[in-house]
Structure 1
Amino acid sequence: MAGEISDHPAGFLAGIDREAHDWVVFFAGGDAGPADLDAFRQWSAQAGYTEAFARACRLWEAVGPASRQMTGADAPEQIVHIGRRAFIGSALAVSVAATAYVGARSPLGLWPSWSELAADYRTAPGEQRRIALSGGPSIELNTRTSIALRASTHGGAERVELFGGEAAIVASPELHRAIEVAAGEGRVTAVDATFNMRYERDVVCTTCVAGALEVAFGNRSADLRAGAQVAYSGSGLGKVTMVDVGLVTAWKAGILVFRSTPLADAVAEINRYRSGRIFVTNAALGRRLFNARFPIANVDGVVAQIQQVFGASVTTLPGGIVLLG
């Protein structure tokens, strides 16, 4: 019946797009085998079907946290419960973003959130940018990062809001201005420090590279010295741990480093630096540990490395879509 929304999580979509949505959910679940990939190749060979899969990937990226819930242990039940509302809302967001950014961004890049539309500085996939604030701290933006400059406090502190992504920040007494960086529901304050902040998947992780700083979240705070790291999210402020700051800041040298990293996690990181999307379609492959060091400028070359190391099958589709199985 016209206008009726079915029980399918993407029931508001046309038939071809609904099928594409099902393929994206299936691949993201990591349960595809050789027969499934053959079936997908036959399906996508039909006129217009690869484009429909690209649209579904774009919508999947826009869903964000809901998409991650849909690939949990109870995925079949959760997809029906969460999927329809999440995808309807996301479809509207994607439509608005597409109107503003069509032709300027890859069709499979992450569309900006509403807050990111107000950013003063943004970086595209794979782009890095350095910003020197007038008479104050310097900020280096990593890939897919958005920030806004806010009015300084009465004490003269430079105020910045990190909407998402990753930034390396330097504050020094010689610059005669402290810095306060807000991200999510927390903030970092520093007078003499070099630090790295990463805001991904609703988690803000701060690493002190040199000097000292304060991380505040709610009614709790943590003081960090060089080599210390702490994260906060909706569940609260975590424990302070010691980390290898060289690994955390390797991106500044244009390098990605993985040490015994589950392949699924490594691919999620790699996807931040490229347009399109790599799917690990096999859960067992996604759990394999990956060790690698390679230039960000050659990020697409990692697919061949994964194929060689793990003997993975590779299916390459238009729009930067790669299936690893």
Structure 2
Amino acid sequence: MHEDAHGDDVPEHPSDAAHWFSRMHSGETTEADRQAFAAWCSADPAHEREYQKLTAQWNAVLSLPEARLRGLMQATNATQAAPPPPAMSRRRFGLRMVAACALPVAAGLLAAPYLFDRDEKRLNYATRKGERRQVTLPDGSILRLNGDTHLAARFGADERQVELTQGEAFFEVRHDASRPFVVMGGVGQVTVTGTRFNVRRDSESLQVSVESGSVRLESGPWWRHSEHRLGAGQQAIAYASSPLGEVTQVNVDNLTAWQRGKIIFNNVPLATVINEMNRYLMQPASLDAPALGPYRISGVFSVDDPLAMIDALPAIAPVSLERLPDGRVRVLAR
């Protein structure tokens, strides 16, 4: 490995979690780095645990409100006599601090008064069940949120990052090759420079569907990393406990009909239909006829009237409905 690949401030052969964290997040990782990192993680189960702990600390610090972090840093800086070194981006500084000091990430970050990019913006968005919302992000990208969706966005001089914690969103990303747009979704992440795509996060999966342009979907830790390149009309799903799903062709217009207030089913199993309807119903419906789970139906429904969706089922499937006092609905065999 050549020294100029990473600079003279990073050790040639990292041997601890802090230095590996810095190396793998430097933006200059080589294939040799990835292979060496995988070998380091496999050599001792404690290595992976230490690395994951640092990752959790890093994410925890970045999730704190800026005002809170600035207050903590001012308190720490009051005890320091030496002037701070030249300003750099929060990401670059944080990584170099870890590599240089091998200290807990959180402590290193909170101690730096020059950590923040002055132009960085942090934004949080959320919708209730049945609500849809469109917002314009600081870079000019358009974001459309489906109901019951939560996400946080961070925009700085060298990054555009959104974390989707739950729900579904459609992204119309403004092209900026110098600042890739990254969507974090727990079990996977999506990277683009400019395109239109839909992301849906459920408890154990992240579904990505591309309307135009292309995206890179990545899943798994560095040492078990997998990725797909998706183009227009393609979809793939990242799972929490299994390999990245295969790339498939989909009708993205139907898939994103929720933006127009519609939900479209085309030869879909009844069990799947009811699960999808439950995303919009205030009280859930349950299929109490397991044998009818595979029964396939088609139809177009309005998500703005979720009760009408469930009321329409007896007309297109051999079922009846039982409404419970608390508002829940049982779907029974007729």
Bin for the TM-score computed over the shorter chain: 0.5 to 0.7
Say which SS state the counterpart of residue 147 (structure 2) adopts.
coil
Q: Which of residues 171, 174, 179 is equivalent to 1:172?
A: 174
Q: Which amino acid aligns with 1:296?
A: V
Of structures 1 and 2, the one scoring higher in RCO (CA 8 A, sep 6+) is: 1
Aligned to 1:238: 245
Instruction: Give 1:133 shift.
Output: 0.8
The reply to whether residue 225 of structure 1 matches residue 227 of structure 2 is no
Aligned to 1:198: 200
**What per-residue deviation string (whole Å, max 9, x for no partner) do you get for residues 194-223 of structure 1?**
000011131101111101111112322211
**What per-residue deviation string (whole Å, max 9, x for no partner) do you get for residues 205-244 of structure 1?**
1111101111112322211111111111121212211111
What pairs with 1:117-128 in structure 2 (closer than 5 Å)?
A: 120-128=124-132
TM normalised by structure 2 equals 0.58
**Structure 1 Cα separation of the partners of residues 127 and 234 of structure 2:** 27
**Structure 1 Cα separation of the partners of residues 209 and 235 of structure 2:** 4
Q: Which amino acid aligns with 2:154?
A: R
Q: Which amino acid aligns with 2:143?
A: I
The reply to whether residue 278 of structure 1 matches residue 280 of structure 2 is no
Instruction: Give 1:127 shift.
Output: 1.0
Aligned to 1:145: 149
Contact 1:258 1:293 in 2 (8 A): yes
Contact 1:314 1:324 in 2 (8 A): yes
**Structure 1 Cα separation of the partners of residues 187 and 203 of structure 2:** 14
What pairs with 1:208-219 in structure 2 (closer than 5 Å)?
A: 208-218=210-220, 219=225
Instruction: Give 1:320 shift.
Output: 2.4
The alpha-carbon distance between structure 1 residues 301 and 271, as it changes in their structure 2 partners (threshold 3 A), is same
Instruction: Give 1:176 shift.
Output: 8.0
Q: Which amino acid aligns with 1:268?
A: N
Say which SS state the counterpart of residue 184 (structure 1) adopts.
coil
**Structure 1 Cα separation of the partners of residues 233 and 196 of structure 2:** 11
Contact 1:137 1:177 in 2 (8 A): no
Moved more, 309-318 or 184-193: 309-318
Contact 2:139 2:174 in 1 (8 A): no
Aligned to 1:62: none
Gaps in structure 1 of 5+ consecutive residues = 1-118
Q: Which amino acid aligns with 1:198?
A: R
Say which SS state the counterpart of residue 173 (structure 1) adopts.
coil
Aligned to 2:258: 251
Instruction: Give 1:254 shift.
Output: 0.8
Instruction: Give 1:188 shift.
Output: 0.7
Gaps in structure 2 of 5+ consecutive residues = 1-122
Contact 2:285 2:328 in 1 (8 A): yes
**Structure 2 Cα separation of the partners of residues 263 and 272 of structure 1:** 15
RMSD: 2.1
TM normalised by structure 1 equals 0.59
**Structure 1 Cα separation of the partners of residues 193 and 209 of structure 2:** 15
Say which SS state the counterpart of residue 307 (structure 1) adopts.
helix
**Structure 1 Cα separation of the partners of residues 314 and 263 of structure 2:** 18
The reply to whether residue 262 of structure 1 matches residue 264 of structure 2 is no
Say which SS state the counterpart of residue 320 (structure 1) adopts.
coil
Contact 1:136 1:158 in 2 (8 A): no
Q: Provide runs of 4+ in structure 1 moved above 3 Å.
A: 174-178
Contact 2:168 2:200 in 1 (8 A): yes
**Structure 2 Cα separation of the partners of residues 224 and 165 of structure 1:** 21
**Structure 2 Cα separation of the partners of residues 224 and 322 of structure 1:** 38
Say which SS state the counterpart of residue 326 (structure 2) adopts.
helix
Q: Which amino acid aligns with 2:293?
A: G
Instruction: Give 1:297 shift.
Output: 1.2
The alpha-carbon distance between structure 1 residues 175 and 137, as it changes in their structure 2 partners (threshold 3 A), is farther
**Structure 2 Cα separation of the partners of residues 281 and 189 of structure 1:** 41
Q: Which amino acid aligns with 2:208?
A: T
Among the aligned pairs, what percent are the same residue?
30
Contact 2:187 2:206 in 1 (8 A): no
Contact 1:137 1:178 in 2 (8 A): no
Aligned to 1:184: 186
